[in-house]
Amino acid sequence: MEIGKERRRDSFFPRVRELAKLVLRLVDMAELGRVSMTTWPELKPMKNRLVNYGVTENGVAIIELVSDSDGEPLEGDRTAVNTYTREMWHDIDDAILSARFDDDVSVILLTGHGEKFFSAGASIKYLNKLTPRYKYFFCLHANETLSRLEQTPKIVIAALNGHTVGGGLEIAMAADIRIARKGNFQVGLPEVSLGVLAGTGGTARLSRLVGKAKAMEIMVTGRKFSFEEAKDMDLVHDIYDSMTLEEFHQDVLDYSGRFTLPFAAAKAIGNIKRSVQSGLEIPLEYHLALERELQSDLFQSDDAKTGIKAYVDKQTPRFEGK
């Protein structure tokens, strides 16, 4: 009899937790003036079948990396390790441009396919076949693609669904916000064990995100660490205790919805990103001048007029991104 009670309790409490999380999610959305019914959309493969792409009804463009350990299109029962090759970078670049030029897109969401990996970085088997000169241009192409992502005036969120190592972390660091899925996953830049450095933005971005001393320690040791440690050093912004991958997808979509029209001033968010992204690389006075120009642009926008009027009238603004 006691065993039966234990079994019922074991099956009951997970359902209660799921219900409680759903209620909290709905309450959170209600505070923002909306209840989003957006779900994970049907994703379609890009040209090389190494990236899946789709857009939600509320304007979140999803870029999903999908490949096996060799960097080839995923076939059969092979594990999605989501390693990249030159062909994947072409797909990523095309997806970024699709999202950039789509006026209905306010947010770009990067993630990996499957339960285990966001991305393990470059395919070592692929790199082993390349000449040093080709490898140089391979890294240059990756740098240019991630710079395009950073310079796109739409907020970019990396949903880290699994291990995020090597070039996978380099991709994630080009995002504006990084949200991880709770689990026994690893993060790191272990390239030194191959006799090379993290050459697609790793040394540059990690030192800017966590500071010189911590970045040096991580890269020269090549150690891998948990999402919890990554959060402690502000490399990861939050860790979601989602019970399944599908729930993680929905949780991240709900969070992304905070930055979409008509509930968020997408144009202002884009200008904030432009100021922060470009301003950090120039002297303070130039940054202040850039900030003033971007603010002047916003003062002339319909969204600013809408937002200020709504505040005065004590109403909830509905922005149009204009």
In this structure, are 151 and 188 located in the same domain?
Answer: yes
Which of 243, 259, 275 represents a domain boundary (last residue)?
Answer: 259
pTM tops 0.85, yes or no: yes
In this structure, are 285 and 249 located in the same domain?
Answer: no
Active-site residue identified among 64, 72, 87, 191:
191
In this structure, are 176 and 273 located in the same domain?
Answer: no
In a domain, 92, yes or no: yes
Q: What is the pLDDT of residue 38?
A: 84
Q: For residues 155 and 152, what is the distance between their CA atoms, to the nearest angstrom?
A: 8
Give per-residue burial for 171-191: e unless 16+ CB within 10 Å, then b: bbbbbbbbbbbebebbbbbbb
CA Rg, the chain, in Å? 21
Q: What is the pLDDT of residue 42?
A: 94
Q: What is the pLDDT of residue 127?
A: 94
Instruction: Quick: pLDDT tens for 261-270.
Output: 999 999 999 9
Q: How confident is the model at residue 9 (pLDDT cuts 50, 70, 90)?
A: very low
User: How many folded domains does the chain comprise?
Assistant: 3
In this structure, are 99 and 205 located in the same domain?
Answer: yes
In this structure, are 5 and 99 located in the same domain?
Answer: no
Active-site residue identified among 2, 170, 229, 285:
170
**Which range of residues forms the domain containing residue 109?**
33-259
In a domain, 303, yes or no: yes
**Is there a catalytic annotation at residue 150?**
no
Task: Give how far the C-alpha of residue 53 lies from the chain's centroid of Cα atoms, to the nearest Å.
Answer: 14
pLDDT tops 80 at residue 27: no
Task: Give how far the C-alpha of residue 60 lies from the chain's centroid of Cα atoms, to the nearest Å.
Answer: 11
In this structure, are 20 and 37 located in the same domain?
Answer: no
Average pLDDT over the chain reads: 91
Q: What is the pLDDT of residue 7?
A: 46
In this structure, are 229 and 82 located in the same domain?
Answer: yes
**Is there a catalytic annotation at residue 170?**
yes
